[in-house]
Amino acid sequence: MTEDKKTSEEPSRSDAPRPARLLDVARLAKVSRATAARALGGYGTVTEETRERVSAAAKTLNYRLNEVARAMRAGRTQAIGVILADISNSFFANAARAIIDISTAHGYQALILNSADDPEREVEAVRVLVDKRVDGLIVAPSSFSHNAHLSEAGALSGRIVLFDRGITDLKLSTVTSDDRRGAREAVSLLIARGHRRIGLLVSTAAIEGHGPGQPRQAVSTVRDRVAGARDALKAAGLDLPPAWLRYSRNDVAVVSEAALSILGSEPRPTALLASCEEMTIGILAACRQLGLAVGKDIALISFDESPWLGVLTPAISVVRRPIEAMVSTAVGLLVRQIEAWAEPQSIALANELVVRESVFDHWD
């Protein structure tokens, strides 16, 4: 029993006694560390009597397993790293809360970092999380092309899931929503209701201010939504003049300006598609300023559901993205890849078009 030398008794500077270790429990129970570990861990074979003695000792000393040591020993941290593109965007904020709950339910701790849509910060975030030895990574990439750090993320190969935004030339698991289709259906509805002049306000970090041209770095969600809208317009033989299309940085002031610019064009669109909650807010602000009534002068459909949208007068129609399901799928996929060496796969979940009062008939 006289293994290990006894620890120094000098009190730490803090008034709190350092937590008990397994060794302390073993000593008190008069067994070896191995036995104590077996008793507490519920594996191996221990007499019922010793088990109880050890449990009692553990309780007495208020013993708690040191997860850092366990992680070190096991080579697994039971943590997944999460890098969100822009946590100030409500979509990612909502994703964050779902991730916290769902990864906890899977027995993993989520370490969430924000890249603020800056590729440099994203690279750094990957580094930090890899250094922390997370067991896997969920990334909403900030750039379509700048992604070497993902393919080469060394030890994590095969344990990365792309979230919300796809990168076609990387064979990584990817969970998205089918936004091309979502946008197509939304615009098709507007067309079916008689609208002929339809504008688009699209959020992207890949631009300074706002403008009509698609930025090179635009991520897949941006591309898909615009493509989907164009699909629908084209099918109806309609045009999308630059004046009615605005890519905008996701910043209140800029968005309002972008919205004003679309709504100030001549002729003005009778309907708008907004790519996220923040774009909708900008449009509402612009309408207020111009004295235009949504649901009367301007039809509006927004991406992303939010509780307040349904209680406005008029209530705002949305393309509801299945955030919970997306997160749940992403975490599930990742956990399977971590624990069962599963193959990467890509999944695009369906959106739901929720029609409310902001869409009205408009026949010239």
> Residue 68 corresponds to which tokens in the numbers above?
């850092």
Contacts 24+ apart (CB under 8 A), 145-153: 145/216, 145/217, 146/119, 146/217, 149/122, 149/123, 150/126, 153/126
Q: Among residues 154, 146, 205, which one has the least CA distance to residue 170?
A: 146
**Per CB under 8 A, which region of 22-30, 45-53, 175-183, 277-285 contacts its own copies?**
277-285
The count of chain residues that interact with DNA, using the rule CB under 7 A, is 35
The 8-class DSSP code of residue 310 comes to G
**Per CB under 7 A, which region of 40-48, 118-126, 199-207, 327-335 contacts DNA?**
40-48
Instruction: Provide CB contacts within 8 A for 292, sequence distance 6+.
Output: 263, 286, 298
Using the rule CB under 7 A, is 307 a contact of DNA?
Answer: no
Residue 298 phi, psi dihedral angles, 5° rounding: -130, 125
What SS3 state is found at 312?
A: coil
Using the rule CB under 7 A, is 60 a contact of DNA?
Answer: no
- Contact flags string 220-239 toward its own copies, x per CB under 8 A: --------------------
Mark 131-142 as b/e (b = at least 16 C-beta within 10 Å). eeebbbbbbbbb
Distance CA 265, CA 360 (A): 21
* For helices 48-61 and 33-41, angle between their N-to-C axes, nearest 10 degrees: 90
Pick 130 or 243: Cβ nearer its own copies: 130
**One residue of 33, 106, 121, 181 binding DNA per CB under 7 A:** 33
- Contact flags string 61-100 toward DNA, x per CB under 7 A: ----xx--xx-xxxx-------------------------
Using the rule CB under 8 A, is 126 a contact of its own copies?
Answer: no
Distance CA 355, CA 302 (A): 10
Using the rule CB under 8 A, is 10 a contact of its own copies?
Answer: no
> Residue 234 corresponds to which tokens in the numbers above?
């084209």
219 binds, among DNA, its own copies, none (CB under 5 to 8 A by kind): none
Using the rule CB under 7 A, is 180 a contact of DNA?
Answer: no
Which spans of this chain sit near its own copies (rule: CB under 8 A)? 13-19, 62, 64-69, 71-72, 77, 87-88, 93-94, 96-97, 100-101, 104, 109-114, 127-128, 130-133, 154-158, 252, 277-278, 281, 284-285, 288, 306-308, 310-313, 341
Which spans of this chain sit near DNA (rule: CB under 7 A)? 1-5, 7, 18, 21-23, 30-35, 37-38, 40-41, 43-47, 49-50, 65-66, 69-70, 72-75
